[in-house]
Protein backbone atom coordinates (compact mmCIF):
# COMPACT_ATOMS: atom_id res chain seq x y z
CA UNK A 1 0.00 0.00 0.00
CA UNK A 2 1.30 3.45 -0.86
CA UNK A 3 2.09 5.82 1.99
CA UNK A 4 2.07 9.59 1.75
CA UNK A 5 3.79 12.33 3.74
CA UNK A 6 0.64 14.43 3.88
CA UNK A 7 1.27 16.27 7.16
CA UNK A 8 -1.87 14.84 8.73
CA UNK A 9 -2.62 14.57 12.42
CA UNK A 10 -5.27 13.05 14.64
CA UNK A 11 -5.96 14.37 18.12
CA UNK A 12 -8.49 12.64 20.38
CA UNK A 13 -9.24 13.95 23.84
CA UNK A 14 -11.87 13.20 26.46
CA UNK A 15 -13.18 15.09 29.49
CA UNK A 16 -16.03 14.50 31.93
CA UNK A 17 -19.15 16.56 31.36
CA UNK A 18 -19.49 19.29 34.01
CA UNK A 19 -23.14 18.38 34.69
CA UNK A 20 -22.66 14.55 34.61
CA UNK A 21 -19.21 13.21 35.59
CA UNK A 22 -20.25 9.68 34.46
CA UNK A 23 -20.42 10.87 30.84
CA UNK A 24 -17.48 11.90 28.73
CA UNK A 25 -17.18 14.56 26.11
CA UNK A 26 -14.99 13.28 23.27
CA UNK A 27 -13.25 15.70 20.94
CA UNK A 28 -11.70 14.52 17.68
CA UNK A 29 -9.61 16.79 15.51
CA UNK A 30 -8.39 15.40 12.20
CA UNK A 31 -6.21 17.56 10.00
CA UNK A 32 -5.11 16.57 6.53
CA UNK A 33 -2.85 19.18 4.95
CA UNK A 34 -1.93 17.74 1.54
CA UNK A 35 -4.31 16.19 -0.97
CA UNK A 36 -3.16 12.80 -2.38
CA UNK A 37 -4.78 9.95 -4.18
CA UNK A 38 -7.59 8.34 -2.24
CA UNK A 39 -7.28 5.15 -0.24
CA UNK A 40 -8.04 1.93 -2.09
CA UNK A 41 -9.18 -1.23 -0.39
CA UNK A 42 -6.40 -3.76 -0.98
CA UNK A 43 -8.13 -6.75 0.60
CA UNK A 44 -8.27 -9.84 -1.58
CA UNK A 45 -11.81 -10.18 -2.99
CA UNK A 46 -13.50 -13.44 -1.99
CA UNK A 47 -14.08 -14.24 -5.68
CA UNK A 48 -10.33 -14.00 -6.29
CA UNK A 49 -9.67 -16.38 -3.39
CA UNK A 50 -12.22 -18.79 -4.89
CA UNK A 51 -10.27 -18.75 -8.17
CA UNK A 52 -6.99 -19.37 -6.35
CA UNK A 53 -8.60 -22.33 -4.54
CA UNK A 54 -9.90 -23.65 -7.88
CA UNK A 55 -6.42 -23.50 -9.45
CA UNK A 56 -4.47 -24.32 -6.27
CA UNK A 57 -2.37 -27.02 -7.95
CA UNK A 58 -1.34 -24.75 -10.80
CA UNK A 59 1.67 -22.43 -11.14
CA UNK A 60 1.17 -19.08 -9.28
CA UNK A 61 1.87 -16.82 -12.32
CA UNK A 62 -0.79 -18.73 -14.28
CA UNK A 63 -3.19 -18.42 -11.36
CA UNK A 64 -2.49 -14.66 -11.20
CA UNK A 65 -3.30 -14.27 -14.89
CA UNK A 66 -6.67 -16.01 -14.36
CA UNK A 67 -7.46 -13.97 -11.25
CA UNK A 68 -6.52 -10.67 -12.93
CA UNK A 69 -8.95 -11.31 -15.81
CA UNK A 70 -11.78 -10.81 -13.31
CA UNK A 71 -10.01 -8.78 -10.62
CA UNK A 72 -7.47 -6.47 -12.34
CA UNK A 73 -6.54 -4.66 -9.10
CA UNK A 74 -5.21 -7.87 -7.51
CA UNK A 75 -1.41 -8.03 -7.78
CA UNK A 76 0.80 -11.02 -8.57
CA UNK A 77 2.25 -10.75 -5.07
CA UNK A 78 -1.21 -10.93 -3.48
CA UNK A 79 -1.99 -14.05 -5.51
CA UNK A 80 1.32 -15.66 -4.59
CA UNK A 81 0.86 -14.93 -0.87
CA UNK A 82 -2.69 -16.29 -0.90
CA UNK A 83 -1.54 -19.38 -2.84
CA UNK A 84 1.22 -20.07 -0.28
CA UNK A 85 -1.22 -19.75 2.62
CA UNK A 86 -3.97 -21.82 0.99
CA UNK A 87 -1.64 -24.57 -0.24
CA UNK A 88 0.23 -24.90 3.06
CA UNK A 89 -2.44 -27.31 4.34
CA UNK A 90 -1.21 -29.84 1.78
CA UNK A 91 2.53 -29.64 2.42
CA UNK A 92 3.36 -27.88 5.69
CA UNK A 93 3.55 -30.53 8.40
CA UNK A 94 5.71 -28.65 10.95
CA UNK A 95 7.13 -25.16 11.50
CA UNK A 96 10.66 -26.58 11.08
CA UNK A 97 11.34 -26.92 7.34
CA UNK A 98 13.46 -30.07 7.63
CA UNK A 99 11.01 -31.87 9.91
CA UNK A 100 8.13 -30.77 7.69
CA UNK A 101 9.87 -32.09 4.54
CA UNK A 102 10.65 -35.44 6.18
CA UNK A 103 7.06 -35.82 7.36
CA UNK A 104 5.78 -34.98 3.88
CA UNK A 105 8.10 -37.58 2.33
CA UNK A 106 6.71 -40.23 4.68
CA UNK A 107 3.18 -39.21 3.70
CA UNK A 108 4.09 -39.38 -0.03
CA UNK A 109 6.23 -42.54 0.15
CA UNK A 110 4.40 -44.05 -2.85
CA UNK A 111 5.39 -41.06 -4.99
CA UNK A 112 8.85 -40.16 -3.68
CA UNK A 113 12.00 -41.90 -2.47
CA UNK A 114 13.73 -40.29 0.51
CA UNK A 115 17.53 -40.50 0.48
CA UNK A 116 19.78 -40.84 3.50
CA UNK A 117 23.16 -39.04 3.64
CA UNK A 118 26.27 -39.27 5.79
CA UNK A 119 26.91 -35.64 6.75
CA UNK A 120 29.32 -33.90 9.13
CA UNK A 121 28.13 -33.03 12.61
CA UNK A 122 26.00 -29.89 12.64
CA UNK A 123 24.89 -30.37 9.02
CA UNK A 124 21.35 -31.35 8.11
CA UNK A 125 20.57 -32.90 4.76
CA UNK A 126 17.46 -34.20 3.12
CA UNK A 127 17.12 -35.57 -0.36
CA UNK A 128 14.43 -37.21 -2.43
CA UNK A 129 13.56 -38.31 -5.91
CA UNK A 130 10.13 -38.33 -7.52
CA UNK A 131 9.39 -41.84 -8.72
CA UNK A 132 7.24 -40.80 -11.69
CA UNK A 133 9.93 -38.51 -13.10
CA UNK A 134 12.75 -40.99 -12.47
CA UNK A 135 10.83 -43.75 -14.22
CA UNK A 136 10.23 -41.62 -17.33
CA UNK A 137 13.91 -40.63 -17.50
CA UNK A 138 15.36 -44.07 -16.73
CA UNK A 139 16.66 -44.80 -20.27
CA UNK A 140 17.40 -41.20 -21.24
CA UNK A 141 19.67 -39.66 -18.59
CA UNK A 142 23.34 -39.66 -19.54
CA UNK A 143 24.80 -37.12 -17.10
CA UNK A 144 23.92 -35.77 -13.68
CA UNK A 145 25.18 -32.52 -12.12
CA UNK A 146 24.68 -30.83 -8.77
CA UNK A 147 23.82 -27.17 -8.25
CA UNK A 148 23.20 -25.18 -5.09
CA UNK A 149 21.74 -22.05 -3.59
CA UNK A 150 22.96 -20.30 -0.49
CA UNK A 151 20.82 -19.15 2.41
CA UNK A 152 17.63 -18.68 0.44
CA UNK A 153 15.07 -20.26 2.76
CA UNK A 154 13.32 -18.89 5.80
CA UNK A 155 15.83 -20.68 7.99
CA UNK A 156 18.79 -19.70 5.80
CA UNK A 157 19.28 -23.27 4.61
CA UNK A 158 21.27 -24.08 1.48
CA UNK A 159 19.42 -25.91 -1.26
CA UNK A 160 20.98 -28.26 -3.80
CA UNK A 161 19.35 -29.83 -6.79
CA UNK A 162 20.31 -32.32 -9.43
CA UNK A 163 20.25 -31.43 -13.09
CA UNK A 164 20.45 -34.12 -15.71
CA UNK A 165 21.36 -34.13 -19.39
CA UNK A 166 19.47 -36.30 -21.79
CA UNK A 167 20.40 -37.82 -25.11
CA UNK A 168 17.95 -37.79 -27.96
CA UNK A 169 16.03 -41.00 -28.63
CA UNK A 170 16.87 -42.57 -31.98
What residues have CB less than 8 Å from 103, skipping those under 6 apart? 93, 94
Residue 87 or 125, more confident: 87
> Can you give the pLDDT at residue 170?
46
Contact 102, 126 (CB under 8 A): yes
Residue 79 or 116, more confident: 79
Residue 34: CB atoms within 10 Å: 9
> Can you give the pLDDT at residue 50?
95
For 12-61, what is each residue's pLDDT tens digit? Answer: 989 888 888 888 889 998 888 777 776 666 788 999 999 999 999 998 99
Contact 102, 114 (CB under 8 A): yes
Closest CA to 119 of 63, 158, 163, 79: 158
For 122-140, what is each residue's pLDDT tens digit? Answer: 877 788 888 887 787 777 7
Average pLDDT, the chain: 80
Ordered alpha helix ranges (H), 10-71 = 46-54, 60-70
Rounded to whole angstroms, the Cα distance separating 127 from 161 reads 9
Kindly tell me if the per-residue pLDDT of 168 is higher than 60: no
Q: DSSP E strands: which ranges in the chain?
A: 9-16, 24-31, 112-115, 127-130, 141-148, 160-166
- Write down the domain spans for the chain: 46-91, 97-166
Amino acid sequence: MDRFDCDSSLDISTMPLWNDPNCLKVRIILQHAIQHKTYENVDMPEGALDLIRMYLFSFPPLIAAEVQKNFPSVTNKQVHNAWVQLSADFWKMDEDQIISAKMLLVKLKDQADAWEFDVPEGVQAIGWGLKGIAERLREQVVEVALDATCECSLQFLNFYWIISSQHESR
